[in-house]
Amino acid sequence: MKHQIETVSAQEILDSRGNPTIHVTVSLTNGVIGQAAVPSGASTGENEAVELRDGDKNRFGGKGVLKAIAAVEGEIASAVAGLSALDQAAIDGAMIALDGTPNKTRLGANAILGVSMAAARVAASSLGLPLWSWLGGCGARRLPMPMMNVINGGAHADNGLDMQEFMIVPVGASSFAEAVRFASETFHALKALLHERGLSVSVGDEGGFAPRLSGNDQACEVIVEAIEKAGYEPGKDIAIALDPAANSMWRDGHYELRGAKMLTSNDMTALYGRWIDRFPIISIEDGLAEHDWEGFAAHTAALGDRVQVVGDDLYVTNVQYIETGIRRKATNAVLIKLNQIGTVTETIAAVDVCRSAGWGYVISHRSGETEDAFIADFAVAMGGGQIKAGAPSRGERTAKYNRLMAIERALGDSALFANPFASRGSGEANSG
2 a catalytic residue: no
- Tell me the backbone φ, ψ of residue 251, rounded to 5 degrees: -135, 105
- The reply to whether 367 sits in an annotated binding site is yes
Find out whether 285 is annotated in a ligand binding site: yes
Alpha helices for 279-394 (secondary structure H): 293-303, 319-328, 338-341, 344-357, 374-382
Output the furthest CA–CA distance in the chain (Å, rounded): 65
- Nearest alpha carbon to residue 369 among 33, 15, 3: 15
Return the SS3 of 24.
Answer: strand
181 assigned binding-site residue: no
- Known catalytic membership, residue 337: yes
Q: Is 286 annotated as a binding residue?
A: no
Is there a binding annotation on residue 366? yes
- Residues whose CB falls within 8 Å of the CB of residue 421, separated by 6 or more in sequence, listed in order: 145, 169, 171, 239, 282, 283, 308, 427
In DSSP terms, 364 is beta-bridged to 388
Catalytic residue (choose from 48, 337, 400, 408): 337
Crossing angle, helix 176-196 and helix 216-229, to 10 degrees? 110
Contacts of 423 (CB under 8 A, 6+ apart): none
- In angstroms, the CA 349 to CA 359 distance is 14
Cα–Cα distance measured from residue 45 to residue 256, given in angstroms and rounded to the nearest whole number:
19
* Contact predicate 165/219, CB 8 Å: no
Could you tell me which residues come within 8 angstroms of residue 36 by beta carbon, excluding any fewer than 6 positions away?
23, 24, 113, 114, 116, 117, 118, 120, 121, 372, 374
Q: Is 385 left (phi over 0), alpha (psi -120 to 50) or beta?
A: left
164 among annotated binding-site residues: yes
The DSSP code sequence of 301-315 is HHHTTTSEEEESTTT
The whole-angstrom separation of Cα 74 and Cα 78 is 6
408 annotated as belonging to a binding site for a ligand: no
* Cα distances (Å, whole numbers) of residue 165 to 152, 292, 413: 5, 20, 34
422: number of Cβ within 10 Å: 13
Instruction: Give 407's contacts (C-beta < 8 A, 6+ positions apart).
Output: 130, 132, 143, 376, 377, 380, 415
Q: Which of 206, 346, 369, 408 is catalytic?
A: 206
CA distance to 149, 206, 219, 373, per residue, from 203 (Å) = 10, 8, 14, 21
191 is in an annotated binding site: no
Residue numbers in the known binding site are 164, 243, 285, 312, 337, 366-367, 388
Give the residue ranges of the annotated binding site for Mg(2+).
243, 285, 312
Catalytic residues: 206, 337
Residue numbering of the annotated binding site for (2R)-2-phosphoglycerate? 164, 337, 366-367, 388
